[in-house]
Amino acid sequence: MKKFSIVTLTFLAALVSIGTHAEESVWDWLLSFKRFKEVAPVINSTYKEECGSCHLAYPPGLLPSASWQKLLNKKALADHFGDSAELDEETRKELELYALDNAAEKSYYKRPRKIMASLGTDEAPLRITEIPYIREKHEDIPSEKIKGNKKVGSLSQCDKCHRQAQNASFDDDTVLIP
Ligand code: HEC
Ligand code: HEC
């Protein structure tokens, strides 16, 4: 009887410790991994608005946090790929925090994990389109269908071809080059 209760107690203690210490997102992922095939959709409305006016509001899971750090500091935003994407400091901090919290290495979705696996440990590209995994997926598309195509313009314009990009889905079933 004594032995039994020790075993039971140990078991209960283990359950409690899993429940409190394990990262919730691991459990989310295990329980519903089908939903986690792609990348987490953008849920921050300020990010959607401020970062979605010139191009798709890229889901933060498409780049590691070291890349977001380089992109979203004050100085970098003043010269953002030749444009100004300056923000007031409060908004900038909010968007930076949102991107860092949801960066590729913190995600259990499939694309971010593939993105991290394709990058070297110190690699933090400024562009999603420079990530080897993303580059390889597009290397067979001739440039006249991208740069030479007025309806696309550049590979950075994900949503011109990926019809579900606004829902953070880049599956090849929903792609159509205009
Ligand atoms: C004023 C327009 C403008 C705004 C606002 C803007 N961007 Fe950009 N962004 C650009 C341009 C231009 C490029 C380069 C696109 C190209 O090469 O075709 C770019 C490229 C990028 C890229 C690299 C895309 C690639 O090629 O993989 C990232 C990442 C990015 N922007 C993130 C952001 C984030 C996050 C915000 C919000 C804080 C933001 N941008 C707001 C104009 C803008
Ligand atoms: C010119 C149109 C075009 C643009 C712009 C484009 N893609 Fe693609 N993308 C494609 C095509 C076509 C495929 C399918 C390639 C294949 O079937 O091998 C693809 C494949 C992919 C895949 C792999 C899909 C799968 O199911 O394996 C990912 C991820 C992806 N693209 C992400 C992006 C992201 C992120 C951007 C923007 C930074 C982007 N793409 C911009 C055309 C485009």
Domain boundaries, the chain: 45-174
- Residue 26, pLDDT > 60, answer yes
Ligand closest to CA 152: 2
83 lines ligand 1 (CB under 6 A): yes
**Of 89, 92, 94, 119, whose CA–CA distance to 104 is shortest?**
119
Q: How far is the CA of 39 from the centre of ligand 2 (A)?
A: 13
Work out the percent of the chain whose per-residue pLDDT is above 90: 79
Q: How far is the CA of 55 from the centre of ligand 2 (A)?
A: 15
* Mean pLDDT of all residues belonging to the chain: 89
CB-CB contact of 111 with 38 (8 Å): yes
Cβ atoms of residues 118 and 131 within 8 Å: yes
Distance CA 131, CA 75 (A): 23
Atom 3 of ligand 2, residue of closest alpha carbon? 161
- pLDDT of amino acid 45: 97
- Residue of the CA atom closest to atom 42 of ligand 2: 161
How far is residue 50's CA from residue 42's CA, in Å, rounded to a whole number?
12
